[in-house]
Structure 1
């Protein structure tokens, strides 16, 4: 990944011939020569015919004064074309289809995770700890993220994997809907979780098959935006269906995974569709640098013997354990550790601290606005989750919305901010930053900190995967198939960091919540104990 400055036309390709002509025209206009001065008296006829300052008279229907503004406007349009990507209706259509597909991949892949968490109270008996739902909803996903990239070798068969994921998701939700047994429902949740983890891994790896890097970056951006939207859509979806009961509500939800193969086959453009388009090679980002290696078409068929042109490809290319370790080592401190810390702190807040951030119900006399939002002490936790999910959605959509990616050196910043947020929220929960009579100030402070927590978590997710996606990877032997597998492995190897953070947070959250409630009760605040 180079850090050198890009060439003047490096981002948008070489200028076309009309653009060069326009540039020369404009240069001539900036230094005009006299048009109507008489020729010298001693000039010979042959000299008059060939003298460089002689100009043909303007056309009778176009005065000279009207010609120059017209030429100037034309030249300005040609020069502007040099300063922006050469997009066409076809390229815009392809980019729209690409963004829509990856947004749907992220949305549908993660929405079942949110639906299951939202339905946790309805899925298990009251005597069953709800933490068991969270564990079954994350541990199988962690197994998928660790197992597939690190254990499996060779080319990824995207079509087969997506079809398999869809079957597992539908089957898992149907098992949850059709059986009343706790163990069968937990089995169904595990199947859906495994499918979700493998799906996230698959779509992130699929993004690396697109070229130029700006297109691959758009794929990651839209996928991250879809995962952020899943929180809001999933919670709203279950809120509409919960009155139908578990069997009907979860059964209806089982049709959602079918959207993914539909989008994959009917909307998603193939990587080869972008090969002939004039698109920017990469975003203007000095920390990423220009693309060093030229693009080489890579096999995309699921047939292990044939590539897109039907020619035979190598069958022996596969990364060894030593190769994978060499690729992972540079990623550990730069990408994995910041993501792991962010998710550990984030889910500790959500599962261990946020349930204890409860206050007296605001009165209309003191807090007119808050009294219309919070009607009971049980409204606080859903409010914090709504604030969190909303800010996660917008922050994960940051690159899609046009915000520049975080510089690589600032990737640990969200983790540092999360640590400060966790510290302040723990202090407020345990001893109270403001007095008990100032619940309005306490609620406002928690609102802002939860919103900042969601922003940090979303920015960490989208920027880490975007950076890994944009890294230039060229194998030592120049084999395009090996380079492809290296890119896929690198972005796939990152995924277990966030799942490990969530799993660790689920273990920390339970004693944290209990201890904070006990501290509140010791100082006479019994609201947490009454929930």
Structure 2
């Protein structure tokens, strides 16, 4: 089965006009091509991440009350981290995108089906591990797929919309489970297991072929001749067949030393800032935010706040709603036309996150925002909104910058080696955010316990009532 057909040469030339002078001046066909690309990657990000959110939202319904909820968080993170480490760092050769995405779809559907069909805790945790592994491998694959599009602005376009889709998954997943939970775990999760089918349908039926944009790049600026992959060649790759005219040079795989050479400059420039952002962000969300509780506001004194907060259990969902909304908006910054952060400022979100972690931890422990609960709630609301903005900006800008990295000096821009280098670079970054999330999940439990004990020592026992 083939993906959507590529446009004619005339459409490619009109796309050149749209990209060079702005989409508003391009033809309708070129705008539709970019729209299809954007929608495809948005759906990839949305569907790939939405099951992760549904599982976290359904955590209370999936396991017995005596089971620590952190075990679900661990099973939802660790398999994803294994995928992000194993595939780019240990495997070699070309990526068979169609085969991998169909595999991810089947694994994800199987995992959700196991969760829905079995009441056993261990079987449900196994199903969650399947879905997590598929989500991690899927995210890695879509980011790598974005590097196959050229010129760089088109590749950046796909990354921007993918990041926007991952941000939307937080809101959509929470809303879906809110609507489905009334049907029970079996039916609700069972219906959710059909969502991964959207991914192969989008890949085969909606996603424009890379050859469309390669032809447009070739028209943009004359350069030395480099053989371009055709639609048939790419389809042969997906089927596991090599082109009969491919030379050994085109089929070479990156060695371990090649990968280490490529990853070394990424460590301080991209991976460390992203690791820190996710470490601080998820420590706040899982370890500090649950302790940021205040007395329930009365309608007479706080008419607006009382409409949102009806019990002390409503504070944590409120913080998560604020966080997910601002993450979605900031991850959508590139797709909304906001310029990317300069490379020298990529560490700024991590620095701000560190300050936010300190401020919110102090508020939870000693109440630095004062005795006025309304003022404290407003300040926490604002700080968590900034936290979401920083987290979203870090994600979309780091992956955008890596996507735009030029090929190595020893690789031709259109060669198979250059393609593999681009795929490896963006795939290698995923280890940083996955490790940050995993470490944060380990730190969150003792952090929450320590902050709650600090509140009890100063006479506030609301955290004990959750």
Deviation at 1:528, TM superposition (A): 0.5
The reply on whether 1:132 has 2:63 as its aligned counterpart is no
- Aligned match of 1:252: 191
Does the 8 Å CA contact 2:411/2:418 hold for their aligned counterparts? no
Deviation at 1:87, TM superposition (A): 2.0
Does the 8 Å CA contact 2:150/2:217 hold for their aligned counterparts? no
**The one of 232, 246, 253 aligned to 1:318:** 253
The runs of 5 or more residues in structure 1 that have no matched partner are: 1-11, 17-77, 282-289
Equivalence map 1:23-62=2 (5 Å): none
Deviation at 1:475, TM superposition (A): 5.5
The reply on whether 1:243 has 2:177 as its aligned counterpart is no
Deviation at 1:279, TM superposition (A): 10
Question: For each residue in 1:184-231, what CA deviation from the matched residue of structure 2 results, as whole angstroms up to 9, or x when unmatched?
Answer: 000000000000000000000000000111110000000000000000
Question: For each residue in 1:412-437, what CA deviation from the matched residue of structure 2 results, as whole angstroms up to 9, or x when unmatched?
Answer: 0000000111111011111112333x
Equivalence map 1:274-313=2 (5 Å): 274-277=213-216, 297-298=228-229, 300-301=234-235, 302=237, 303-307=239-243, 311-313=245-247
**The one of 429, 433, 447 aligned to 1:512:** 447
Following the alignment from structure 2 to structure 1, what is the Cα–Cα distance between the partners of residues 241 and 48?
A: 30
**The one of 461, 465, 471 aligned to 2:399:** 465
Does the 8 Å CA contact 2:277/2:349 hold for their aligned counterparts? yes
Specify which structure has the higher proportion of helix.
2
- Aligned match of 1:160: 99
- Aligned match of 2:6: none
The reply on whether 1:210 has 2:156 as its aligned counterpart is no
- Aligned match of 2:40: 101
Following the alignment from structure 1 to structure 2, what is the Cα–Cα distance between the partners of residues 279 and 385?
A: 46
The reply on whether 1:193 has 2:132 as its aligned counterpart is yes
Aligned length: 446
Deviation at 1:457, TM superposition (A): 0.2
Deviation at 1:280, TM superposition (A): 11
**The one of 209, 216, 224 aligned to 1:270:** 209
Does the 8 Å CA contact 2:110/2:130 hold for their aligned counterparts? yes
> Rg larger in 1 or in 2?
1
Deviation at 1:93, TM superposition (A): 1.0
Question: For each residue in 1:379-417, what CA deviation from the matched residue of structure 2 results, as whole angstroms up to 9, or x when unmatched?
Answer: 000000000000000000000000000000000000000
**The one of 394, 397, 418 aligned to 2:332:** 397
The runs of 5 or more residues in structure 2 that have no matched partner are: 1-11
Following the alignment from structure 2 to structure 1, what is the Cα–Cα distance between the partners of residues 285 and 136?
A: 20
The reply on whether 1:454 has 2:396 as its aligned counterpart is no
Does the 8 Å CA contact 1:172/1:191 hold for their aligned counterparts? yes
- Aligned match of 1:352: 287
Deviation at 1:304, TM superposition (A): 4.9
- Aligned match of 2:438: 503
Q: 4+ residue stretches of structure 1 with deviation over 6 A?
A: 278-281, 290-295
TM superposition score normalised by structure 2: 0.91
Question: For each residue in 1:486-505, what CA deviation from the matched residue of structure 2 results, as whole angstroms up to 9, or x when unmatched?
Answer: 00000000001101000000
**The one of 168, 171, 182 aligned to 1:232:** 171
Equivalence map 1:333-412=2 (5 Å): 333-412=268-347
Following the alignment from structure 1 to structure 2, what is the Cα–Cα distance between the partners of residues 341 and 257?
A: 31
